A and B are shown apart, each in its own frame.
Chain A
Amino acid sequence: MGDNRGKMKVTRAEIKKATHNPRFYGGILISWALAGLVVAQAWRDPLSFYLGKITLSLSLLYPMALFGPVGGIWGGTENIAEERMEGTLSTALLRPLSRWEWYWGKVGFSLFYNLLMVFTPLLGMALLDKIMWGGGVSLRLLGGGAMVVLYISSFSALSYLFSSLFYRPWGGPLWALGVGAFSWIVERLGGGESIQLYLLTHHFSSFNAFFLPQIDWWGVATSLLVLGSYTGGAFFLGALIFARQEER
């Protein structure tokens, strides 16, 4: 199943390469800008902000969960389909790496980026909460952040899967968005309540479980299980397909 050092080598090299890419900073800047808006609101009216703790989640986590999947899908497409189309995948595979190591190294980079995009502003927010109100929201904020990261990563995983499956670069994003759209439509149509729980978009606002008066641990566990299955399953299936392909 490949050498972990090989996978780490790819992840480290990818992180270093990404620092030369303006898009790397673009996603982080957007999430920091969102955090900046929340800080500005808190600064202007600290009391009302504190009273409505839910504002934190709505101001920051909601747009992250809404727009984050686009970045996640983009990452998957760029890391597999675009590399294949540009021919850089072949150049990289000339190096002492197996396809398996290359794939999981790329996955490692995507997960790192998702974490960076969501957690750096959240850590800033948690610090603000600690300074201004002595803490209390930090744990909920970080828990909600973890759910958002998992939700974004499930779209990344779908993009990796479909980018591995289809040689065309638009295959990954179109099919990953298609799964999201299908899930959303089935959910909106109602009915079939027994399957709603398993739909990807049903867990869009799973971070809210951390902002109820009592944290909904059952809801958290369910979302973790469903989103974890989507993420792990799609990444693994993508790896199996990718490992058996050729670069002609």
Chain B
Amino acid sequence: MDGRKGRRFLVKKFMKSDVLLALKDVGKKVKGKAILEGVSLEVREGEIFGLLGGNGVGKSTVIRLLLGLIAPSTGYFYVGGYRCPPLPPRAKTMIGGCLDNTSFYGNLTGIENITFFASLSSYYPEVAEIEFFASLLDFEPSLLYKKVSSYSQGEKKKLSLLHSLFPLPRILVWDEPWVGLDPRGVKKVQELIVNLNTEQGVTFLLSSPLALELEKVAQRVAILHQGKIKWNDYLTPGLSLGEIYWEIIEEK
């Protein structure tokens, strides 16, 4: 399945050198209903890209698609230099993901879950390393040693963000990273995003329905509405993402 070679994967000539993620005219239908229609966007290396949209507009579908969990009905996408679908394991090594509802094994502790999933990437993190990143997310280290079944929604969200950092990939694709978090948690996540971006050069694709939170960290944003990209541009000082968003969704 992943061993296919040739033009399907090695199509770097199609890609601008700094584009790490790209969707080309992607459509997705589920049971005859169009979820995405002709979606095209590019995420360049080193940028924090935001995907803004209300509930049920297809943000999570874009994320699941880029993470290889679903395939587009039409169009294709690139991860690194690889043309997808299918998303080959080699491309997956570049990308770390957090879903809107990432699930873990309830009978294992937080640290056991992180270690288990990291081992599937042939990575075996040190406890100190996990505790360090946990502290950056304001995640109580003692929680790491409790079973996930006892976690609150916010704690599960932090764990899902945390698990995607082992190993630290080139691209992090996070679906609604601050949903379920308190204001302090939201701030910590935003600080972590900016730190990883500036210090480690990690590229981000973040999806959120909250314009205010997204514009605090994102450099460029696309607005997704009714399965289509309605706006895609850099954020500049004085530009209100919220106002643009409202203008778009109130358009008939």
Contacts and interface: CB of A to CB of B under 8 A. Distances in A.
A106 to B, nearest CB: 12
Contact of B102 (A2, A87, A95): A87
B89 A97 contact: yes
Contacts of B116: 13, 16-17
B120 A90 contact: no
A43 B47 CA distance: 73
Given A9-B120, A86-B103, A3 B64 contact: no
A168 B99 CA distance: 22
A96 B92 contact: yes
Interface string B8-19: 000000000000
A222 interface: no
B69 interface: yes
A99 B105 contact: no
Interface residues of A, number: 31
A13 B113 CA distance: 11
Contacts of A90: 64, 69, 99, 102-103
Interface in B81-109: 86, 88-90, 92-93, 96-97, 99, 101-105, 107-108
A127 B249 CA distance: 76
A193 interface: no
A59 interface: no
Interface of chain A: mostly helix, strand, loop or mixed: helix
Interface of chain B: mostly helix, strand, loop or mixed: loop
Interface string B218-235: 000000000000000000
A107 to B, nearest CB: 16
Contacts of B64: 90, 247-248
Nearest to B88: A98
A129 interface: no
A45 interface: no
B89 A247 contact: no
Interface string A1-39: 111001001101100110011000000000000000000
A87 B101 contact: yes
B112 A20 contact: yes
B38 interface: no
Interface in A127-177: none
20 contacts: A3-B89, A17-B105, A17-B112, A20-B108, A87-B103, A88-B103, A88-B104, A90-B102, A91-B160, A92-B117, A94-B67, A94-B99, A94-B164, A95-B117, A96-B93, A243-B1, A246-B70, A246-B71, A248-B69, A248-B70
Interface of B: 1-3, 30, 64, 67-71, 86, 88-90, 92-93, 96-97, 99, 101-105, 107-108, 112, 116-117, 119-122, 160, 163-164
Interface of A: 1-3, 6, 9-10, 12-13, 16-17, 20-21, 86-88, 90-101, 243, 246-248
* 3 tightest A-B CB contacts, nearest first: A87-B103, A95-B120, A96-B92
